[in-house]
Chain A
C-alpha cells in the first residue's frame, strides 16, 4: 500500500534496525507488541540530548539545566496533547505501564480497605493483575474477574453484573496483548460511571496503534509505555484525572517531589511532580516526545488504517495454512495475531521462523489466564506495526509453511 499518503518504503527507510539480515535472511520483525523499533528521529533526539543538553532538570540555575528542563517539560506537553488530557498536571512520568499501575495500586490502594473490590478482566496482562493481587494480600481487597467469550471479547453483560457497592475500581486493558481484542472502552467507562466506579485503562497495546483521547473515553486513569510506541525504554505515563490525583496519597518519596523538607514538616510539590520522586528518565522522556512528533507526522488515523489493512492481509494468509488456528477472533482487533497448531509446539515454531529471519513471540505473553481459558500452554504471536509491509507477511507465511513441513 504505497501511496502519497502512506509511503511504506520511505517509512521503513527511517528505521535503521530493519535494514539488516538475520540468519542470512531479510529481517521480518513481527514482535512489535513486545517492543517496537525506533526511527532515526527518536534515536537522534536521545543522542542530541546527551551530546548537547544534558543536566538534571528542575533544580539548576545554570543554562544546561534550563535547556534540559525545557526539553523534558516540552515532552510532557506533547504527551498531554497526544492523548488530549486537560493539563500537564495530569501527566505523571513513570518507568512504564507496569510502574504506572503499581503507582496507582500503591496510592489509590491506601484509600481502600478489606472487602473493597477491584474488577479486572480475564484478558489482562500480568502487569494489571499482580499489583492488585499484592494489594489483596496486603489489605484484603477482593479481585473480581470479568469473563471473555470464545472470540476473546469481554462479555459486557457479565461485567455489568460484577459491580457492587464495594467496587472501587475497574482496571481493564484497552487492547489485549495476547489476543489483539480492542475493548469498547468508552462503553465500559459509561457502565462504570453509572455505578460510581473509577476506571483504569491499561493502554500499553492501544497507544501505538490509533488515536487515544482520554477525555472522549472519559476514563480516570490511563497507563502506557514509551517503548511500544517507538520511544525509548524506561519511561511511561500514568494519566490521572486532576481532581483525583490532587487527593491521592503519595507513593514514593525522594527528591523532586518536595518543595521544602525539615524533620518536622514536609511541603510537597505541585502536580504532577509530587508523584515523580527522584531524577526522572529525562532523555527517555525527550525521546518519547520525539516519537510522538514522528507518529503525529504520519498521523495516527493513517497508522490505524494501514495496520488494519495489514491485519486483514495477514489473517487471510494465515487462515490458508492447514492446521493453523487463530486464538482471538474479536470483531474489533488491533494488528495482533496469536495462533497455534495442535501438533507443533509454539517454541519450535519460533525457532524455525527465527532461522528464516522472522521474529515472532512465543509463549504465554504474560497472560496465563488467557492461555488457560483457551486451553493452550502458549501461542505463537505475530504483532504488526505501521513499518511492517506485505513482504513481512509473505515471509511469515513462507516460513510457517517450511515449519509445518518439518514437523509433520
Chain B
C-alpha cells in the first residue's frame, strides 16, 4: 500500500470514533484551528483558488522529489478540510498523489463537500493538488 493510501486508511479509522455529524464536524473544525500559520506573502491572487464561496489559498513546493503544500481559508470548516487534505497529500511523491484518489472524503461522510455546487473549496483544492503533481511529473 502506498503512503497516501496508508494515511487514508488511518484517517478513516480515526473518524469511525464519531457516530454523529456534530462530533465529526467539531473534530474537523478543531483540526483547522491547529493548521500551521499560512505565510502572509503566500496570500496572493496567484495562489487563490477560484470557484470557492469561501476563500482558499494553496501554495505548493517541491523538495527532494516530494510535494509539500501550505493552505489556508477564511472558513473554519474548509480550514479543517485543508488539515485533512494536507495530512493525506503533503510530503508525498507526485506519482503517489496522482495514483491515489481522495477516497477518505467519501468514507468519512464528507462527500457533500466535493459537489461542485457546494462551491466551497475542497474540490478546487484537490484539483489544484493533482494539477501540481501532474506538472511535477511532466517537468
Real binding pair: yes
A interface footprint on B60-85 (CB within 8 Å = 1, 0 otherwise): 00000000000000111110000000
With A and B bound together, what is the CA distance between A23 and B26 in angstroms? 17
Minimal beta-carbon separation of B34 from chain A (angstroms): 15
Tell me if A54 is interfacial: C-beta within 8 Å of chain B: no
Tell me if B22 is interfacial: C-beta within 8 Å of chain A: yes
B interface footprint on A334-350 (CB within 8 Å = 1, 0 otherwise): 00000000001101100
B interface footprint on A360-373 (CB within 8 Å = 1, 0 otherwise): 00110000000000
Tell me if A58 is interfacial: C-beta within 8 Å of chain B: no
Tell me if B54 is interfacial: C-beta within 8 Å of chain A: yes
Residue pair A345, B76 in contact (C-beta under 8 Å): yes
Which residues B22-37 have CB closer than 8 A to chain A?
Answer: 22, 25-26, 29
Which residues B1-59 have CB closer than 8 A to chain A?
Answer: 21-22, 25-26, 29, 53-55
Instruction: List A contacts of B120 (CB < 8 A).
Output: 347, 351
* Partner of B76 from A348, A377, A378, A402 at Cβ < 8 Å: A348
With A and B bound together, what is the CA distance between A406 and B53 in angstroms? 20
- With contacts A352-B25, A355-B25 taken as known, whether A407 is within 8 angstroms of B53 at the C-beta atoms is no
User: Which of A23, A345, A406 has the most chain B CB atoms inside 10 A of its CB?
Assistant: A345
With A and B bound together, what is the CA distance between A348 and B29 in angstroms? 10
* Partner of B29 from A362, A377, A402, A407 at Cβ < 8 Å: A407
Residue pair B25, A378 in contact (C-beta under 8 Å): no
* Partner of A348 from B22, B26, B55, B77 at Cβ < 8 Å: B77
Minimal beta-carbon separation of B78 from chain A (angstroms): 8
A interface footprint on B102-137 (CB within 8 Å = 1, 0 otherwise): 000000000000000000100000000000000000
Instruction: List B contacts of A402 (CB < 8 A).
Output: 22
Residue pair B76, A363 in contact (C-beta under 8 Å): no
Minimal beta-carbon separation of B64 from chain A (angstroms): 36
**Chain B: interface residue total (CB-CB under 8 A):** 14
Minimal beta-carbon separation of B125 from chain A (angstroms): 15
Instruction: List A contacts of B74 (CB < 8 A).
Output: 345, 377
Residue pair B53, A378 in contact (C-beta under 8 Å): yes
Residue pair A406, B22 in contact (C-beta under 8 Å): yes
**Can you name the residue of chain A whose Cβ is closest to the Cβ of B75?**
A345
Instruction: List A contacts of B55 (CB < 8 A).
Output: 377
**Can you name the residue of chain B whose Cβ is closest to the Cβ of A378?**
B53
With A and B bound together, what is the CA distance between A182 and B77 in angstroms? 35
- With contacts A347-B75, A407-B29 taken as known, whether A363 is within 8 angstroms of B21 at the C-beta atoms is no
Instruction: List A contacts of B54 (CB < 8 A).
Output: 345, 347-348
Minimal beta-carbon separation of B28 from chain A (angstroms): 10
Instruction: List B contacts of A23 (CB < 8 A).
Output: 21
User: Which of A344, A348, A407 has the most chain B CB atoms inside 10 A of its CB?
Assistant: A348
Residue pair B75, A348 in contact (C-beta under 8 Å): yes
Minimal beta-carbon separation of B38 from chain A (angstroms): 16
- With contacts A362-B53, A378-B53 taken as known, whether A406 is within 8 angstroms of B25 at the C-beta atoms is yes
- With contacts A347-B53, A362-B53 taken as known, whether A406 is within 8 angstroms of B75 at the C-beta atoms is no
Instruction: List B contacts of A345 (CB < 8 A).
Output: 54, 74-77
Instruction: List A contacts of B25 (CB < 8 A).
Output: 351-352, 355, 406
Residue pair B53, A344 in contact (C-beta under 8 Å): no
Residue pair A406, B21 in contact (C-beta under 8 Å): no
Instruction: List B contacts of A406 (CB < 8 A).
Output: 22, 25-26, 29
With A and B bound together, what is the CA distance between A406 and B32 in angstroms? 12
Minimal beta-carbon separation of A367 from chain B (angstroms): 15
With A and B bound together, what is the CA distance between A23 and B58 in angstroms? 31
Instruction: List A contacts of B78 (CB < 8 A).
Output: 347-348
Minimal beta-carbon separation of A350 from chain B (angstroms): 9
With A and B bound together, what is the CA distance between A355 and B76 in angstroms? 16
Instruction: List A contacts of B29 (CB < 8 A).
Output: 406-407
With A and B bound together, what is the CA distance between A407 and B75 in angstroms? 10
With A and B bound together, what is the CA distance between A347 and B25 in angstroms? 14
Contacts A344-B76, A377-B74, A406-B26 aside, 13 further interface pairs with beta carbons under 8 A come to: A23-B21, A345-B74, A345-B77, A347-B77, A347-B78, A348-B54, A348-B75, A348-B76, A377-B55, A406-B22, A406-B29, A407-B29, A407-B76
A residues at B contact (CB < 8 Å): 23, 344-345, 347-348, 351-352, 355, 362-363, 377-378, 402, 406-407
